[in-house]
């Protein structure tokens, strides 16, 4: 029966595809119900990694204890078990009424909804590799190739989701397709149970095949498992915090990580030898790129491209080393994957949960390099430091400090000089067992100080938490508040003009004009997003301002380093937590104006700009009131999405942009109101523009069940800077 040969590959591919898809679907379902907090996504990621590890561990333990013949029956039972829960029942996610901490509540609800099916799917890859190795199929001699198929399934799920499933289908339709696919998956497993037998080895043969697994083997698997995960997560963080938080870029690092597994674990593994031989140089170049990206000498797309290229080389090394040091006995196959999974879980937990609370920069990237460099220590005999190694370490220190002072802009000569110097330095460091690890560790310790040199803006305060990296710095008689690459507010340091709101919120900005004109009519104002507290400066004693802010640390920074809230004469109240959930708790609040300014730069909190949430805003809005959305975005055109929502809800929707100049920074704002007189006044007297209804109708309607950024991507902005970038430029521009 030829179809027996393809069955393990099809089942393994489908299980990985379903596992990855349900991660994305459930996380998207949970966000509106818990708010758009990073903790929601962070809790989901840690939950999935933990259950994946438990699935691997269970499969390994059960097969070792009861043998593959009995486990085949257990496996079929596991596959059928989820029909008692989801996908056998509808997946219903409702607002939580528990008083538990958010993370604990997310964990409990994930367990109750997708826990059983996710656990089942997580056992498939390991179980089927053992099953295959003890079957009569021709590919039994290389069961590790199924791991490449598994990662190919994950890769396919990752890239098909934003471009096909999320773009074409809402969440309800996605779940229908997913449930149907799981039914197919279960059917295939039952057929495999009938058609593909597997036998346990006899005791004598197992003993003869036994190969001792050393502590070095286990440590290597753990380091490589953790190193790859830390690298792809840290590159994602760098792209988000230091380059640009465009959501489409976030899938690239994970896709590269999965692709490296596919290439190295497939039947004919592929990894160029120069990557393995050149890993010291690749590690050194990656460390330098960490700082150069922050120097912003490259356009955004090129910075992302370079980070992804280095990530690919590092992941290729990690996965090549894993497959090269796999157990020689198939009896240890499951344990091998358990250790990789444990390393991945620990790496993910460290990067997502621990480091953000212990650092003020994305030092996890350098920690990932240290973990990978440490693997090489396991393969080399002891070699002591000598004068040449110490000289190389000193040379690297000089290069790190001197580069940004000599080459302040892109310079092809400087790049070539850097490349040659690093090759010579890392070649010498590779002669010692610990030199590269020690050098990277010292760079990690000094990373915050080095960042100041490369960014050329000494900060007076820097802080990191789960929501990102915050910086406050002075320059040109002005204080600036940054959240990643997004400006949260600016203020003059001295003089009478210190009390004038600046930036996106100046008196000549669209929002500033409205706030000044309506100081007597806006009695109650709701503001979603605090920033530096700039809009508080417009408040007078007859007004009450309610600020909804997700992160309490933003309030602390704005209060300490800016004086807008001190200047404010209004009665100000600060409500911490996700604005959507906070508004639900304040059901009786009615506002004359609601200002939505919670966008973290180019990343859009989708749950705050859907038809469902705008309906909630309207319930809190007075009849004559209006909703203002800050729509400034470099790479996403959110304005037509907001107009489409307003059109669906019968609102009058307009927009106005303001150019750079004076106290004002270029910005665009969208207004939504159900008061015709109010809207006509804005259009006739304040130069607001109405949207073209026919153009707006072409855009899909965003709801809690559907959203996609693909139709609103500004490809010309993403790619335009590349056209002006001259690769061969050699003149030093200062």
pLDDT digits 0-9 by tens, 332-351: 899 999 999 999 999 999 99
Banded pLDDT at 460 (limits 50, 70, 90) = very high
Distance CA 300, CA 305 (A): 9
Distance CA 548, CA 577 (A): 7
Whether residue 331 is predicted with pLDDT greater than 90 in this model: the reply is no
Q: What is the reported pTM?
A: 0.94
pLDDT given for residue 205 in this prediction: 53
Stretch 89-106: mean pLDDT: 74
In terms of Cβ atoms closer than 10 Å to its own Cβ (0-12, 13-18, 19+), residue 480 is: buried
Nearest 10 degrees: Cα torsion 502, 506, 512, 517: 110
Distance CA 192, CA 575 (A): 56
Name which of 58-67, 90-99, 257-266, 515-524 the model is least confident about: 90-99
In terms of Cβ atoms closer than 10 Å to its own Cβ (0-12, 13-18, 19+), residue 731 is: exposed
Stretch 206-229: mean pLDDT: 85
Whether residue 712 is predicted with pLDDT greater than 60 in this model: the reply is yes
- As a whole number of Å, the end-to-end CA separation of the chain is 71
Q: Prior bond to 87 cis, omega within 30?
A: yes
Whether residue 210 is predicted with pLDDT greater than 60 in this model: the reply is no
pLDDT given for residue 602 in this prediction: 59
Sheet holding 544-549, edge to edge: 571-576, 544-549, 524-528, 591-596, 621-630, 667-673, 652-658, 689-690
Distance CA 325, CA 328 (A): 8
The β-bridge partners of 636 are: 713
Name which of 41-50, 335-344, 402-411, 438-447 the model is least confident about: 41-50
Percent of the chain beyond pLDDT 90? 70
> Maximum Cα–Cα distance for the chain, whole Å?
92
Distance CA 687, CA 517 (A): 14
In terms of Cβ atoms closer than 10 Å to its own Cβ (0-12, 13-18, 19+), residue 285 is: buried
In terms of Cβ atoms closer than 10 Å to its own Cβ (0-12, 13-18, 19+), residue 419 is: middle
pLDDT given for residue 206 in this prediction: 52
Residues 555 and 530 sit within 8 Å (Cβ to Cβ) = yes
Q: What are phi and psi of 459, to 5 degrees?
A: -90, 150
Q: Residue 172: CA atoms inside 13 Å, Cβ hemisphere, count? A: 3
pLDDT given for residue 250 in this prediction: 79
Whether residue 286 is predicted with pLDDT greater than 60 in this model: the reply is yes
Nearest 10 degrees: Cα torsion 222, 224, 229, 230: 90
> How many CB atoms lie under 10 A from the CB of residue 325?
17
Coil, helix or strand at residue 621: strand
Nearest 10 degrees: Cα torsion 341, 345, 348, 351: -130
Element (H, E) at 499: none
Q: Which residues of 526-535 are buried (b: 16+ CB within 10 A; e: fewer)?
A: bbbbbbbbbb
Q: What are phi and psi of 87, to 5 degrees?
A: -90, 5
Distance CA 430, CA 276 (A): 13
Whether residue 319 is predicted with pLDDT greater than 90 in this model: the reply is yes
DSSP state string for 378-410: TTS------HHHHHHHHHHHHHHHHHHHH--S-
Cα separations in angstroms, 321 against 219, 269, 276, 339, 375: 12, 12, 9, 14, 9
Whether residue 732 is predicted with pLDDT greater than 50 in this model: the reply is no
Whether residue 633 is predicted with pLDDT greater than 90 in this model: the reply is no
Name which of 51-65, 383-397, 609-623, 634-648 the model is least confident about: 383-397
Q: Helices (DSSP H) in 196-272: which residue ranges?
A: 203-209, 215-238, 247-265
Altogether, the residues listed in the chain come to a count of 734
Whether residue 382 is predicted with pLDDT greater than 90 in this model: the reply is no
Among 262, 239, 75, 244, which residue's Cα sits nearest to residue 158?
Answer: 262
Distance CA 147, CA 133 (A): 13
pLDDT given for residue 409 in this prediction: 85
Residues 695 and 712 sit within 8 Å (Cβ to Cβ) = no
Task: Return the CA Rg of the chain.
Answer: 28
Banded pLDDT at 695 (limits 50, 70, 90) = confident
Stretch 255-280: mean pLDDT: 96
∠ Cα 65 71 74 (to 5°): 120
Distance CA 163, CA 538 (A): 43
Running DSSP on this structure, what letter comes out for residue 700? P
In terms of Cβ atoms closer than 10 Å to its own Cβ (0-12, 13-18, 19+), residue 142 is: middle
The β-bridge partners of 544 are: 524, 571
Residues 691 and 640 sit within 8 Å (Cβ to Cβ) = yes
Name which of 408-417, 479-488, 711-720 the model is least confident about: 711-720
Residues 125 and 12 sit within 8 Å (Cβ to Cβ) = yes
Coil, helix or strand at residue 642: helix
Banded pLDDT at 734 (limits 50, 70, 90) = very low
- CA 8 from chain centre, in angstroms, equals 32
Whether residue 186 is predicted with pLDDT greater than 80 in this model: the reply is yes
Element (H, E) at 684: helix 676-685
Selected residue with higher pLDDT from 249 and 622: 622
Residues 39 and 206 sit within 8 Å (Cβ to Cβ) = no
Residues 459 and 472 sit within 8 Å (Cβ to Cβ) = yes
pLDDT given for residue 1 in this prediction: 59
Residues 117 and 85 sit within 8 Å (Cβ to Cβ) = yes
Stretch 342-362: mean pLDDT: 94
What sign does the dihedral 596-598-604-610 (CA atoms) show?
negative
Which are the contacts of 408, defined by CB distance < 8 A and separation ≥ 6?
Answer: 456, 732, 733, 734
Percent of the chain beyond pLDDT 70? 94
Q: Which domains does the chain have, with CATH numbers?
A: 218-246+267-456+708-734 (no CATH), 475-703 (3.40.50.150)
Distance CA 189, CA 257 (A): 28
Residues 280 and 440 sit within 8 Å (Cβ to Cβ) = no
Residues 230 and 350 sit within 8 Å (Cβ to Cβ) = yes
Coil, helix or strand at residue 536: helix
Distance CA 120, CA 186 (A): 11
Helices (H) and strands (E) in the chain, counts: 28, 12
Stretch 112-127: mean pLDDT: 95
Selected residue with higher pLDDT from 572 and 243: 572
Name which of 373-382, 446-455, 484-493, 681-690 the model is least confident about: 373-382
Q: Helices (DSSP H) in 407-457: which residue ranges?
A: 412-429, 435-445, 447-455
Residues 225 and 347 sit within 8 Å (Cβ to Cβ) = yes
Distance CA 552, CA 82 (A): 40
pLDDT given for residue 557 in this prediction: 97
Q: What are phi and psi of 572, to 5 degrees?
A: -105, 135
């Amino acid at each position: 029966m030829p179809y027996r040969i393809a069955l393990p590959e099809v089942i393994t591919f489908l299980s990985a595809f379903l596992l990855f898809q349900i991660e994305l679907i459930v996380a998207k379902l949970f966000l509106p119900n818990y708010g758009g907090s990073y903790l929601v996504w962070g809790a989901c990621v840690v939950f999935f990694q933990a259950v994946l590890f438990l699935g691997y561990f269970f499969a390994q333990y059960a097969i070792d204890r009861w043998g593959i013949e009995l486990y085949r029956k257990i496996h079929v039972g596991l596959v059928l078990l989820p029909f008692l829960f989801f996908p056998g029942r509808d997946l219903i996610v409702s607002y939580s009424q528990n008083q538990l901490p958010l993370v604990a509540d997310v964990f409990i609800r994930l367990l109750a909804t997708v826990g059983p099916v996710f656990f089942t799917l997580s056992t498939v890859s390991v179980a089927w590799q053992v099953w295959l190795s003890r079957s009569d199929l021709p590919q039994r001699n290389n069961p590790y190739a199924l791991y490449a198929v598994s990662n190919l399934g994950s890769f396919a799920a990752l890239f098909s989701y934003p471009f096909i499933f999320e773009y074409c289908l809402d969440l309800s339709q996605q779940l229908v397709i997913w449930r149907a696919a799981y039914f197919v998956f279960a059917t295939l497993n039952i057929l495999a149970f009938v058609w593909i037998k597997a036998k346990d080895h006899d005791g004598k043969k197992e003993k003869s095949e036994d190969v001792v697994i050393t502590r070095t083997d286990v440590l290597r698997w753990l380091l490589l498992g953790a190193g790859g995960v830390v690298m792809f997560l840290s590159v994602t963080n760098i792209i988000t915090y230091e380059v640009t938080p465009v959501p489409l870029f976030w899938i690239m690092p994970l896709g590269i990580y999965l692709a490296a597994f596919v290439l190295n674990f497939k039947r004919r593994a592929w990894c160029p030898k120069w990557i393995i031989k050149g890993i010291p140089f690749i590690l050194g170049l990656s460390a330098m790129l960490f700082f150069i990206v922050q120097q912003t000498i490259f356009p955004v797309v090129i910075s992302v491209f370079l980070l992804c290229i280095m990530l690919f080389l590092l992941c290729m090394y990690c996965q090549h080393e894993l497959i090269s040091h796999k157990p020689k006995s198939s009896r240890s196959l499951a344990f091998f994957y358990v250790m990789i999974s444990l390393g991945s879980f620990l790496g993910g937990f460290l990067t997502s949960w621990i480091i953000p609370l212990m650092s003020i920069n994305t030092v996890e990237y350098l920690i990932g390099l240290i973990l990978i460099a440490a693997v090489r220590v396991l393969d080399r005999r002891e070699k002591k430091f000598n004068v040449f190694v110490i000289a190389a370490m000193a040379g690297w220190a000089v290069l790190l400090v001197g580069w940004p002072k000599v080459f302040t802009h892109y310079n092809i000569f400087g790049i070539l000089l850097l490349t040659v110097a690093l090759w010579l330095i890392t070649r010498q460091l590779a002669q010692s067992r610990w030199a590269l690890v020690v050098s990277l560790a010292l760079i990690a310790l000094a990373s915050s100080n080095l960042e100041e040199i490369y960014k050329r803006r000494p900060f007076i305060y820097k802080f990191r938490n789960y929501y990102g990296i915050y910086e406050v710095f002075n320059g040109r008689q002005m204080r600036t508040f940054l959240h990643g690459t997004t400006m949260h507010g600016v203020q003059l340091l001295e003089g009478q003009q210190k009390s004038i709101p600046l930036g996106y919120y100046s008196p000549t900005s669209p929002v500033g004009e409205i706030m000044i004109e309506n100081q007597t009519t806006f009695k109650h104002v709701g503001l979603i997003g605090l920033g530096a507290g700039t809009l508080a400066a417009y408040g007078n004693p007859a007004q009450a301002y309610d600020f909804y802010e997700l992160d309490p640390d933003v309030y602390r920074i704005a209060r300490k380093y800016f004086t807008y809230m001190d200047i404010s004469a209004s009665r100000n109240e600060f409500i911490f937590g996700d604005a959507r959930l906070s508004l639900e708790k304040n059901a009786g609040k009615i506002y004359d104006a609601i200002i939505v300014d919670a966008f973290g730069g180019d990343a859009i909190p989708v749950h705050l700009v859907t038809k469902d949430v705008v309906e909630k805003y309207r319930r809190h809005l007075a009849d004559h009131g209006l909703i203002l959305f800050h729509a400034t975005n470099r790479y996403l055109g959110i304005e037509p999405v907001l107009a489409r929502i307003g059109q669906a809800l019968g609102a009058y929707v307009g927009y106005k942009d303001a150019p750079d100049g004076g106290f004002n920074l270029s910005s665009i704002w969208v207004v939504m109101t159900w008061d015709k007189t109010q809207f006509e006044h804005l259009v006739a007297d304040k130069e607001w523009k109405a949207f073209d209804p026919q153009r707006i109708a072409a855009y899909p309607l965003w709801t809690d069940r559907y959203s996609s950024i693909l139709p609103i991507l500004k490809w010309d902005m993403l790619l335009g800077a590349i056209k002006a970038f001259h690769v061969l430029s050699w003149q030093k521009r200062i």
